[in-house]
Amino acid sequence: MATLQNEFIKFHDEIKLGAYEENQGLRDKRDLLVNELTKSLGEETLPGKDEKLSFLKLDQGSYAMNTGITPKNGDYDIDVGLCFDISNGDYDSHKLKTLVFDALDKQHNRNVDFNRPCITVRYGDGYHVDLAIYAKNDDDMHIAWGKKTSTQEQCWYKADPKGLTQWVQDVSSETEKREQFRRCVRALKKWKELKFSDEGNAAPPSIGITIQARNAFSYADGNDLVSLLTIAKSIKAGFSLAWDQESEKQLFTTSVRLPVQPYKNVYYKMTPRQLNTFYDRICDLVEALEAAVSQGADHEASKLLRKVFGDNFPLVEDSKKTKKPYIPTGNNA
C-alpha cells in the first residue's frame, strides 16, 4: 500500500501560499485600500447624527484560515471584512456599500466590481482584494448583501465571519492534526484548480470544499493520502439524485451550508448541471485516490496522483530503472 507521505509534504510546500513574498503583496494591497478608505470616509458622518463613520479591518477567507495556495494563473486574492461601527438602522445596506464602491472607484489603475457579497478591487499585476461590508451592531454582525442594480436582493443579513474562521481553525487542538487538515485542504484546492480551470462559477467555491473537508476530516498518522481519501469519499456521499426540470432528467446535486450565520448554501451559484459535473469529477478523484492507495509501487502511485494534482506533485523514481545491473565478478569463472 502506497502512502507517499514525503511526496505529499513536498507537494504541500510547493503549492502553499508563502508567508512572505506572496502574502506580503496581498497585505500591501489590502492595507493600501484600507488606508485609502479611512482617508476618503474620514469626514463622513452617520445620517442624522453627529458621529463620524468608522470601521475596523477583519481578515477572513483562506488568508485568515491559513489554507491559501499559490494560484496557477497568478490571480492572488485576499478577503477582508470592513466592520463599520454602526447598526443596521444607521445606514441602508446598499447606500453604505455604494459609498465604499464610489470611494474606491476613483482610481484608474484598477477595476472595481460591485458583487453580491463584496466589493472586488482588481489590479493589473495579478492581485485582487474582496471587501465585505459589515454593520457591527454591537458585535451582532450583519453583511451588506446584494447587487448594484437589483433592489430585490439588497439587504442586511446576519453573518459571523469570525465564527467561521474560528470553526475551521478548531478542527483540532493538536498541531500535527491541524497541519494535516490544511495540507488536505490545499491539495483539494489544487485539484479544483486543475479540474475546473477557467470555469468561473461552474467550479465549486473553495469555502465549500473547506467546510466539507472540515466536516469529514479524520486524522491519519503519517498518511495524508488516506485522510484525503476519507474527505473525498464524504464529499461524494453528500450528493443525491434530483429531477432537473431544464434537462428533464435526474442529476446529482448537493448543498453545503455555512456552519455559522447566515447558514446559507455556499453552492448557491452552481446550476444543476454544474453540480452534476462536480459529482462526476469528485467520483474520478475518489477512484484515483483509491487506486493510488492500492498501488504497491510508489512510482505508479505518484503517476496517478500527478494526474489528479498536476506536475507539482513529485514523481517517484521507478525502482526498476534505478537498480544497478548485475556485473559478474569472475570469481566463479
The enclosing domain of 71 has a CATH number of 3.30.460.90
Span 219-231, average pLDDT = 97
Same domain, 109 and 206: no
Residues 6+ apart with CB under 8 A from 215: 234
Q: What CATH number should be reported for the domain holding residue 223?
A: 1.10.1410.10
Beta bridge partners of 133: 82
Whether 225 contacts 292, CB under 8 Å: yes
* Same-domain check for residues 182 and 290: yes
pLDDT confidence band for 329 (50 / 70 / 90)? low
243 has which bridge partners? 250
Note whether residue 36 is domain-resident: yes
What is the DSSP secondary structure assignment for residue 186, as one 8-state letter?
Answer: H
In a domain, residue 180? The reply is yes
pLDDT tens for 100-158 read 999 999 877 789 999 999 999 998 777 889 999 999 998 899 999 999 987 778 999 99
Cell of 236: 461524494
Q: Which domain holds residue 185?
A: 5-13+175-316
Neighbours of 14 (CB within 10 A): 16
Q: What is the pTM of this model?
A: 0.90
Helices (H), the chain: 5-15, 21-40, 61-65, 93-104, 161-169, 175-195, 206-216, 224-237, 272-294, 298-309, 319-322
Residue 327 lies in a domain: no
User: Based on the domain organization, do 99 and 203 belong to the same domain?
Assistant: no
**pLDDT tens-digit series, residues 270-326:** 999 999 999 999 999 999 999 999 998 999 999 999 999 999 999 999 877 655 554
Domain end residue (candidates: 113, 134, 163): 163
41 and 152: one domain?
yes
Place of cell 445596506: 93
CA-based nearest residue to 60, from 78, 42, 33 = 78
Pair (154, 207) in one structural domain: no
The answer to whether residue 30 is domain-embedded is yes
- Residues 253 and 283 occupy one common structural domain: yes
Indicate whether 272 and 289 sit together in one domain.
yes
Co-location of 185 and 310 in the same domain: yes
